[in-house]
Copies of this chain bind each other. A is one copy, B any other.
Amino acid sequence: MYQDKLKNLLIKVQNGSLSIEDAVSHMKGLPFEDLGYAKVDLHRKIRNGFPEVVYCEGKTMEQIQGIFQVLMRTETNILGTRASREDYEGVHQIAPNAVYHEEAHCIVVNPTKNNQSEDDHYIAVVTAGTTDISIAEEAVVTAETFGCRVKRIYDVGVAGLHRLLAKLDLLQKADVVIVVAGMEGALASVVSGLVENPVLAVPTSVGYGTSFHGISALLTMLNSCASGVSVVNIDNGFGAAYSASLIMKEITGGIR
């Protein structure tokens, strides 16, 4: 696409419809809006069919509102992650249709009603325990905002294998499995040994002492003796869902 754009620009130069100066400035990249504190990308939906995403943590209310305002000019839906309720209220002032997912700490603007396909493809989101659910919900909201179907399988940690085995069907029929686990994170290895599709593992900061805020689970997942596991940052439910959505898009030939 970048190549195409480049060729188009050159054709315009060749046929005289674009001056060299303008071509140079266009060529430096895809358009974005420069707010000073942020360069807001306006064409991600065009580029890859995905919603725009705003990482809210650490931004001031003014910055968050400014960025949403620019993005709302596009028709796309917008996902705000790591957003507090306070952040949501600020966004809600300028985007009356914004929805807040409390447990997932996510804001969704322009949520599409029927964006989920009717077919059989889905992502399974699995957690080891109850306290991992907050991160799992970030993954769920992300994947759904990106148009994927999701099935939740929560609190099936390896301490009671029978709970996991009871959901084996659901696991094995998923196209992609996202495993969310803190403490020792062993669930990713066990799940990966039971399914034949890609597993995306999300270590969580759940635990105490030598869980080291998620490092123990992270290392477990990176060293998984079962093949087919790849890993994202600690507590990064969003990242796992993003990768899973890319895979789903490829499988189904478009956004699901």
B222 touches A233 (CB 8 A): yes
Give min CB distance, A73 to chain B, whole Å: 18
Selected from B29, B58, B221, B222, the residue in CB contact (under 8 A) with A209 is: B222
Q: Is A7 an interface residue (CB 8 A)?
A: yes
- Between A and B, 29 residue pairs with Cβ closer than 8 Å are A1-B172, A2-B172, A3-B24, A36-B152, A36-B154, A37-B130, A59-B131, A67-B130, A129-B225, A158-B226, A161-B193, A161-B194, A183-B225, A184-B225, A196-B246, A208-B235, A208-B236, A211-B219, A216-B222, A216-B223, A219-B219, A222-B231, A227-B238, A227-B242, A228-B246, A230-B230, A231-B232, A247-B247, A247-B250
A216 touches B220 (CB 8 A): yes
Most buried by B among A3, A30, A59, A130: A130
Query: Provided the pairs A155-B37, A210-B234 are in contact, do residues A223 and B184 lie with their beta carbons within 8 angstroms?
Result: yes
8 pairs of A and B residues whose beta carbons are closest in the complex: A29-B162, A209-B234, A186-B186, A230-B230, A58-B131, A159-B226, A216-B219, A184-B223
Residues of B within 8 A of A228 (CB): 242-243, 246
Give min CB distance, A226 to chain B, whole Å: 4
* Chain copies in the assembled complex: 8
Query: Provided the pairs A163-B39, A183-B223 are in contact, do residues A246 and B190 lie with their beta carbons within 8 angstroms?
Result: no
